[in-house]
Structure formats: C-alpha cells, structure tokens
Amino acid sequence: MTIRTVVNGRPVTEPIPVRWTLAEFVRDRLGLTGTKLSCGMQVCGVCTVLVDGRPVSACSYLAVDVDGCEVTTIEGLADAGSLHPIQAAFVDHFALQCGFCTPGFIMMAKSLLDENPRPTRKDVVDYLDGNICRCTGYQPIIDAIVDASERMTP
Amino acid sequence: MSVLPPFELHRPTSIEEVVELISWDDLPYVGGTELLLAMRAGLLNPRSLIDLKGVAEITGVRAHNGAVRIGAAVTHQQAATTEVISEKLPELPPVLLHVGNPRVRWSGTLAGNLCFAEPKSDVIPFLIALDATVTLVSADGSREMSVREFIIGPYFTARTEHELLAWIDIPVVPGRRGTYLKYQVMERPTVGVAAVRLDEGDSTITRVVVGAAGEVPVVHDVDHAHPDRSAVATAVVDALEPIDDLTGSSDYKRHVTAVYVERALEKLERM
Ligand SMILES: Cc1cc2nc3c(=O)[nH]c(=O)nc-3n(C[C@@H](O)[C@@H](O)[C@H](O)COP(=O)(O)OP(=O)(O)OC[C@H]3O[C@@H](n4cnc5c(N)ncnc54)[C@H](O)[C@@H]3O)c2cc1C
Ligand code: FES
Ligand code: FES
C-alpha cells in the first residue's frame, strides 16, 4: 500500500507492506535510525516518535496509520545543526550515559512541553512513567526537562 | 523480515461496511495497543484488520439521553480531555489519565479495552461501577447490555463473531460520587478499586468494584451511605478469587485488596 506522509518536514510517498510497524518504516526504509527498538511492547519508550504531535510507540504502531499524518523523529528536532533546547539541556545536565534511551526521552519531553510548557517535577515524572533508563537513575533527565522548560518559556 | 505476520487492511467509513467485514478472522482495531502485541506474540493471526478510525459515527463523545456516549474510536486521552466528560463525568478523566503511559493513552481506546477484556484493566471495574452499557451492532441489528454482563471472564466477552462494539453509554446521575484507587508497581495494576455512592429512591447505595486482583471483577453493593469499611473489605476479599502471578501471590493480593477497599471508601466519605 502507498502511504503519503510528511516526515520531519519532508513529504514522503512510499509503497510499503501493510504489516510494517512505524519503526520498520522510519528505520529500514527512511534510514532514520535515531528511533531505537528494545522491548517491542510499549513499555520502555525508546521508539517514541510524534504523529501529528502525539507520542506513539513506533515499535507497536502500524506504519499505514501515519498515512496523511505528520511524523517527527529525533532527527527532526535540531534546527540546521543547532540543538533543540531539550537536546541542549540533556547535554548540559549529563542526562545520558550510554544514550540508548535518549531519543525516546527527548521525544516524550517534546510532547510534554508542547502540551504543558511549564510542568512541575511531578508532572515530568508522571509523564515519563512509560520510559526506562538503565544508566542515569533518572534525576539528571528530570533536571534537564525542567531546565529546558524554563529555557523555552522564560 | 517483519515483526508482524501478514494481513490485509480495510478502511471502512461506515458501521454498515464494518459489520459486513467483521469476523473472528477479520478484526477491528483502533490503537492496536493490545492487538498488535498479541499478533506479534503469535497469539492472533487475523486474515485482515479493519481500521475503525475512519468511521465517523463512532469517533466522538456526546451527551445522549441522560448519558455520555463515547464512540468506539475515542482514545483514553481524547475522552479524558473532552469537555462533555469533564463537565458531566468529572470522576472519569483521573482514571483514564492513569492508564498505562501517555503513548498507550493517545492510541488506545475504552472500547478496545473492554473488547480485549484483559483482567488487569482499570476501565472495566470503573465502568461497571458507573453502570455503563455497551451497544453491539451487527448486520442483523443492535443490542445494548451492561458492561457487567459484557465482561464474562478473562479475555472473554459476550460479543459474538459479527458484532462491533459501537459505543459506550455512561449514565449521568446527579449527586453520584465516585473514585478509583489502584496499586501498581509494573505496567498493570495489582489491584484497582472503584467506589461509588448513589441515591436510589429512598436509600443510598455504596458500590465497590474490584478489578485486577482476580480473574473477573468483584461487585459488592451495600444499602448504606456510610457502610462499615472493614466489613465491606472482608466481604469483598471473601468473594475474590486471586491467582498467583507477577503482580503478587494470592495472599498478598487479598491483603492489598482489603487495604485499598478501605482507603477507597474512606476517600468516598470525604467526597
Ligand atoms: C504498556 C501497556 C500498558 C497498559 N496499561 C494499562 C493500564 O494501566 N490499564 C488499563 O486498563 N489498560 C492498560 N493497557 C491496555 C490498553 O491497551 C487498553 O486500555 C487499550 O485502550 C486498548 O485499546 P485499543 O484501541 O488499542 O485496542 P486494540 O488493540 O485495537 O483492540 C483490542 C481487541 O479488541 C478488539 N476490538 C477493538 N475495538 C473493537 C470494537 N469497537 N468492536 C469489537 N472489537 C473491537 C480488537 O479486534 C482486538 O482484539 C496497557 C497496554 C499496554 C501496551
Ligand atoms: S521498543 Fe517500543 S516501547 Fe520499547
Ligand atoms: S542512558 Fe543508558 S539507558 Fe538511559
């Protein structure tokens, strides 16, 4: 089936197998490998991308369901080489170690801040309930997101 | 190599078209949050999937005949942030906003939750407590039944092969108070307790519905506005048939259930 979508601002029309997940489409067809895969069951969040601004688990979402929608992956955040404020805050707060979970956390943070530009620490913790990090102990991630919110909405 | 088995896709735009297609081999979906995982695990291998998101008749939430009608394509997030619901059923959004995680809430629906009939559902006990009904539509007509009758057992509902769950009606009852408390350390709750108080004629009923701890929800009605909390907890635990699983042993679940029933009733007293 042929799907028409806009990925990171670029119109894409591609014939794809109906059974493909969104992760297979962005990683294997479009080469956007910033979107990671781990649990494959909506639990860990490393595969998070935005579809019309809503967060979805690309591991468990049909690619055909983005037909007619806009998709944003981690590659779509930096603007002409300069980091998005959330990315910059992650660097400044050492909010990553191995970095495998980072694209997912950043996409979730983007979705949270779009919805709620000045979240409390508790709002951040609640929103990230479905994201797992095995390295950082989470505190630097929360610090980075709270800081990013302050940078973006002074 | 793909993670999902092959299937065909249908994108109907009316209930009429859906009920022509639907069968145990041709499965409707909205979020696919349960379905795709079951397919990936090899538990379901449908010939086709029927995308319900283009069926306008089941996409919205509206007031209807003293109830709030939630279409089958409405997601948890959409329902939780719809004005009709915040206005008429303010007890519902807090429950929906604690289903899974934001990604599951943005894609998953209340109808999909009921149809899958996962025993560790938050939606099922709460909708039973609110006396919600479902409307099932097939090519032969439609029927309405309570959620309590609809949920027969674990992963087992009263829906027959060619029926679509079209919408859920939740009655709006003036003066009704309701709350839901759950204990959860993993993706799914160990126990969820709904407690509701409502006037029926001259008397006041307090209803407790317990989900997740057992295979089927336990419903317990007491003809009193302020029942003895520990007596209710004991009666509910006696009726519970918990099994040992990753969320706890059966003894542990009995204990946590008693504690949460008392807490939910205490919270209800303050409402
Ligand atoms: C990580 C994770 C965490 C979760 N946490 C929770 C939680 O805390 N609490 C909770 O209650 N739930 C939880 N869930 C369950 C969540 O998937 C459901 O609540 C969800 O809303 C199901 O909706 P869906 O549209 O995705 O269903 P789908 O997966 O699309 O469908 C489920 C099943 O129902 C059938 N079906 C769907 N709609 C209809 C219809 N209208 N008529 C007939 N048949 C239909 C499908 O064919 C399929 O067999 C969790 C799920 C995941 C993956
Ligand atoms: S890989 Fe998608 S949620 Fe874990
Ligand atoms: S930085 Fe390694 S998993 Fe999060």
State residue A83's pLDDT score.
Answer: 96
Q: How far apart are CA A50 and CA A112, in angstroms?
A: 11
Of B241, B247, B209, which Cα lies nearest the Cα of B123? B209
What mean pLDDT is reported for chain A?
97
Contact B6/A24, CB-based, under 8 Å? Answer: no
What mean pLDDT is reported for chain B?
95
State residue B162's pLDDT score.
Answer: 98
Domain A85-152 classification at class level: mainly alpha
Q: Tally the residues of chain A.
A: 154
State residue B1's pLDDT score.
Answer: 62
CATH 3.60.70.12 fits A2-76, yes or no: no
State residue B176's pLDDT score.
Answer: 93
List of residues 6+ apart from B168 with CB closer than 8 A: B69, B70, B72, B110, B111, B114, B127, B132, B133, B134, B135, B147
Q: How far apart are CA B248 and CA B255, in angstroms?
A: 10
Q: Is A100 touching ligand 2 by the criterion CB < 6 Å?
A: no
Beta strands in chain A (DSSP E): 2-7, 10-15, 48-51, 54-57, 70-72
Atom of ligand 3 nearest to the CA of A141: 4
pLDDT above 90: residue A81: no
Place of tokens 């696919």: B32
- The nearest CA of chain A is from the CA of B200 a distance in Å of 38
State residue A31's pLDDT score.
Answer: 98
State residue B202's pLDDT score.
Answer: 83
User: B86 in helix, strand or coil?
Assistant: helix
Contact B4/A21, CB-based, under 8 Å? Answer: yes
Q: Is A111 touching ligand 3 by the criterion CB < 6 Å?
A: no
Over residues A95-120, the mean pLDDT reads 97
Closest residue CA from atom 19 of ligand 1: B113
- Ligand found nearest the CA of A94: 3
C-alpha distance across the termini of chain B, in Å: 55
Distances (CA, A) of B76 to A65, B102, B103, B119, B219: 18, 9, 10, 18, 24
Residues 193-252 in B contacting A (C-alpha not used; CB under 8 Å): none
Q: For chain B, how big is the Rg over CA atoms in Å?
A: 19
Contact B102/A21, CB-based, under 8 Å? Answer: no
State residue B33's pLDDT score.
Answer: 97
Q: Point out the residue among B40, B53, B101 whose CB comes nearest to the CB of A129.
A: B101
Q: How far apart are CA B177 and CA B170, in angstroms?
A: 14
State residue B251's pLDDT score.
Answer: 96
pLDDT above 90: residue A154: no
- Ligand found nearest the CA of A44: 2
Q: Is B87 exposed, middle or buried (0-12, 13-18, 19+ CB in 10 A)?
A: exposed
Q: Are strands B203-211 and B218-222 parallel, antiparallel or unpaired?
A: antiparallel
Mutation target among A60, A65, A126, A145 for the B interface, most CBs of B within 10 A = A60
State residue B39's pLDDT score.
Answer: 97
What count of other Cβ atoms lies within 10 Å of the Cβ of residue B45? 12
Could you read off the pLDDT of B188-231 as tens digits, one per residue? 899 999 999 998 888 899 999 999 999 999 999 999 888 999 99
> B8: which chain A residues are within 8 Å (Cβ-Cβ)?
18
- The nearest CA of chain B is from the CA of A134 a distance in Å of 16
User: B161 in helix, strand or coil?
Assistant: coil
The residues facing B168 across adjacent strands are B70, B134
Q: Is B164 touching ligand 1 by the criterion CB < 6 Å?
A: yes
- Rounded percentage of chain B residues whose pLDDT exceeds 90: 92
Cα A24–Cα A30–Cα A31 angle in degrees, nearest 5: 85
Q: What residue spans define the domains of chain A?
A: 2-76, 85-152
Contact B37/A42, CB-based, under 8 Å? Answer: yes
Q: How far apart are CA B112 and CA B168, in angstroms?
A: 11
Could you read off the pLDDT of B45-102 as tens digits, one per residue? 999 999 999 999 999 999 999 999 999 999 999 999 999 999 999 999 999 999 999 9
